[in-house]
């Protein structure tokens, strides 16, 4: 069964905890938190509003939904489990951008996707809502219950409202994370180029031979190429300082 509701929580339906949670989400929209902190807060708020046994947050990255946060610990799946748009109930919600609520036997829904590593695959009730930012899909929030559970109108409204409120925040945090990663990659590339130059100058190696030497040292010492490059650069700087004394 598919349910779609306006993104608002009425005063007569909303309880104090819901309004407090939504107010807190709104208050923190301007906070420049990293992505993992934003998603952890989303999971905490959703879990407090709807007493659920599981809560997942998927983030759209490229053409895939990536599991980025979970109420229950899933170190083997968080940041690794991906879904295509249209795959499973979660992918259906992302593709159609509207909530889906299943009260029982969610695993029998023809749209359901099984992941053997997740115990939640056998949970009875399933509620999935899209996370949007200016009508663009940002991700999906899922809540699940071990036992059958009829999702009340205010529950769906509340989580849909959270999806609406946090969409821009998640998108900004994701972009910040991507920018930080790109900056780190650029810094590593600069270090590698500098280290290769030192090896080429001192040992008469070609660029490819210098790169392979750094890679080999990394494997032997169980260090990253960046760590080896930094060691080469520091060693060169120390030698130069010694010569100047």
Q: Supply the pLDDT for residue 23.
A: 63
Mean local confidence (pLDDT), 9-34: 54
Lowest mean pLDDT among 4-13, 66-75, 183-192, 205-214: 4-13
Closest CA to 54 of 156, 123, 150: 123
Closest CA to 137 of 205, 237, 59: 59
Q: Supply the pLDDT for residue 53.
A: 95
pLDDT in tens, 117-159: 688 988 999 999 999 888 889 999 999 999 999 998 888 888 8
Question: DSSP states of 52-90 as a string?
Answer: -SEEEEEEEETTEEEEEEESS--TTTTTT-EEETTSHHH
Q: Supply the pLDDT for residue 160.
A: 86
- Kind plus residue range of the DSSP H or E element containing 126: strand 125-133
pLDDT class of 187 with cuts at 50, 70, 90: confident
Given a cut of 70, whether residue 6 has pLDDT beyond it is: no
**Nearest 5°: phi and psi at 81?**
-75, 125
């Amino acid at each position: 069964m598919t349910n779609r509701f306006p993104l608002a929580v009425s005063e007569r339906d909303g309880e104090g905890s819901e309004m407090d949670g939504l107010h807190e989400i709104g208050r923190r929209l301007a906070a420049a938190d990293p992505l993992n902190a934003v998603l952890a807060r989303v999971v905490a708020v959703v879990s407090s509003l709807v007493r659920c046994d599981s809560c997942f947050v998927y983030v759209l990255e490229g053409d895939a939904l990536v599991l980025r946060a979970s109420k229950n610990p899933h170190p083997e799946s968080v940041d690794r489990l991906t879904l295509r748009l249209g795959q499973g109930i979660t992918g259906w919600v992302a593709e159609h951008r509207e909530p889906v609520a299943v009260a029982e036997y969610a695993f029998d829904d023809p749209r359901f996707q099984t992941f053997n590593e997740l115990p939640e695959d056998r949970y009875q009730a399933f509620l999935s809502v899209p996370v949007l930012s200016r009508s663009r899909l940002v991700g999906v929030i899922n809540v699940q219950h071990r036992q059958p559970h009829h999702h009340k109108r205010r529950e769906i409204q509340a989580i849909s409202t959270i999806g609406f409120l946090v969409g821009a925040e998640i998108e900004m945090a994701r972009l910040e994370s991507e920018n930080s990663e790109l900056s780190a990659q650029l810094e590593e590339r600069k270090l590698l180029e500098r280290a290769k130059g030192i090896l080429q100058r001192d040992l008469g190696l070609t660029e490819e031979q210098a790169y392979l030497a750094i890679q080999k040292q990394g494997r032997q010492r169980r260090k990253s190429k960046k760590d080896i490059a930094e060691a080469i650069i520091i060693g060169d700087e120390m030698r130069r300082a010694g010569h100047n004394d």
